[in-house]
Amino acid sequence: MDDQLSMFYLGPEGIMVPTDATPVPLRGDAQVALSNFLLNGQFRLNYIEWRLFFAMLSCIEETDTEFKDYFIRVQDIIELAELKSGSHLYEEVSKNIKGLMSHVVEWEEGPNTTRYAHLVTDATYYKKQGIVKITPHPDMKPHLLQLRKEFTQAQLKQCIRFSSTYTSRIYMLLKQFDSPKAGHRIMSITEFRFKLGLDYTEKLSKGKEVQYNLYPKYSDIRRWILIPAQEEIAKTDIPFEFTPIKTGRKVTAIKFTLLKGKRLRPTPENPTPPKQLTERQAMAYARLSKFKFTDYQIHRILQNGNLIDINKACYEVENTNFNKLGQPIENKTAYAYGIFKKKFGLE
């Protein structure tokens, strides 16, 4: 304990800060910037990790030629994000700091070149002091340092407030087109799904893998991603509207139009934006959808059961081919309905 405390000294306002850090408070008007190559890659950060990432970016100075150890006070994030009760954030940071180290970003560096790299090379959380130390990975240098062209920047106070990973992602993707010459962005459904990391493989123990395809239908994307993101981003500098583009009867692309301070027209189909699902809930939602349950039934399950029990029930159904009488299960949906009705109160 004494060794840990020796790493700190009493800084301004009586706050304990690391001895090798320059305690610079986060400023709302500070700029976060990254190259468009990196921006348009695939990110799968959750909203806590996004806040830490944005805070780290705001600490990078235009004159930096090498990365430093960037120190961030959790209390600064709480204040900039305008959290009414920010005490939970300390615990969330403690849980997510390891995850930030493990993330690999994928982006296209050229027509035939796909690059994979870690975002950070070191992350430390000093729990007693509520301070995070983050060091970007050296592979990030061309995308975070000395940016002169083909980059996107935003004010920290605009992007650190979001409570959803998807809102953070969409905001920065739209911010790239926030200019007098642009004002709108069109993304195919395939591109949109890639950039938001909706399709991915999770590696389990013993070499097993699970493929996730979150929100497979456009109606799911619209309800659980686009409308909540639209509501959150409406309070920033780039409120937007979105329009589905169809090929035949299928939605194949989405057009985003930046409103530049105009009032957002209400969405008649869903005037009250729904609360976004967490990533783990979305994974369970995708898994339950394969049993052809209705949207109402799936949400009853998510409301009535915890995710561990829900995933256990999914595993049971997925790996059972015979009923209690030893007869082959011909209708998996009906069988699944009976299992979930008993455990989670389906109607």
pLDDT at 316 over 90: no
**Hunting for tokens 């969405």 — which residue is that?**
267
pLDDT average, residue stretch 337-344:
80
> 247 versus 331: which is more confidently predicted?
247
Residue 42 parent element (H or E): none
If one compares 52 and 109, the residue with the highest pLDDT of the two is 52
Neighbours of 309 (CB within 10 A): 13
pLDDT of amino acid 190: 94
Is residue 1 predicted with pLDDT exceeding 50? no
Higher pLDDT, 274 or 32: 32
Residue 263 or 185, more confident:
185
3-state class (DSSP) for residue 235: coil
Amino acid code (one letter) for 114:
T
Q: Which residue has the higher pLDDT, 89 or 65?
A: 65
Q: Which amino acid is at 316?
A: E
Which residue, chain included where needed, has tokens 């009586």?
14
Burial 223-232 (b: 16+ CB within 10 A, else e): bbbbbbbbbb
pLDDT reported for residue 269: 43
In sequence order, what are the residues at sequence separation of 6 or more whose Cβ sits closer than 8 angstroms to the Cβ of residue 19? 6, 7, 8, 9
Query: For position 273, what pLDDT does the model report?
Result: 44
pLDDT band at 230 (very low <50, low <70, confident <90, very high): very high
Residues 274/228, Cβ–Cβ less than 8 Å:
yes
Greatest mean pLDDT range, 15-24, 72-81, 259-268: 72-81
Q: Which domains does the chain have, with CATH numbers?
A: 1-161 (1.10.10.10), 162-276 (1.10.10.10), 283-344 (no CATH)
What pTM did the predictor assign?
0.73
Q: How confident is the model at residue 160 (pLDDT cuts 50, 70, 90)?
A: very high
Residue 214 exposure: Cα atoms within 13 Å on the Cβ side: 27
Question: In the beta sheet, which residues pair with residue 212?
Answer: 200
Average pLDDT, the chain: 83
- Whether the pLDDT of residue 179 is over 60: the answer is yes
pLDDT of residue 262: 45
Long-range contacts of 279-283 (CB under 8 A, 24+ apart): 279/46, 279/165, 280/307, 281/307, 282/214, 282/215, 282/224, 283/212, 283/214
182-220: per-residue pLDDT in tens? 789 999 999 999 999 998 777 666 777 778 788 999 999
Q: What percent of the chain has pLDDT over 70?
A: 85
pLDDT confidence of residue 159: 92
Neighbours of 186 (CB within 10 A): 14
Give the pLDDT score at 94: 85
Q: What is the DSSP string of 111-134?
A: TTEEEEEESEEEEEEETTTTEEEE
Cβ atoms of 158 and 30 closer than 8 Å = no
| pLDDT tens-place string over residues 36-79 | 999 999 988 888 899 999 999 999 998 899 999 999 998 899 88
Q: Which residues contact 58 (CB under 8 A, 6 or more apart)?
A: 26, 27, 30, 31, 32, 156
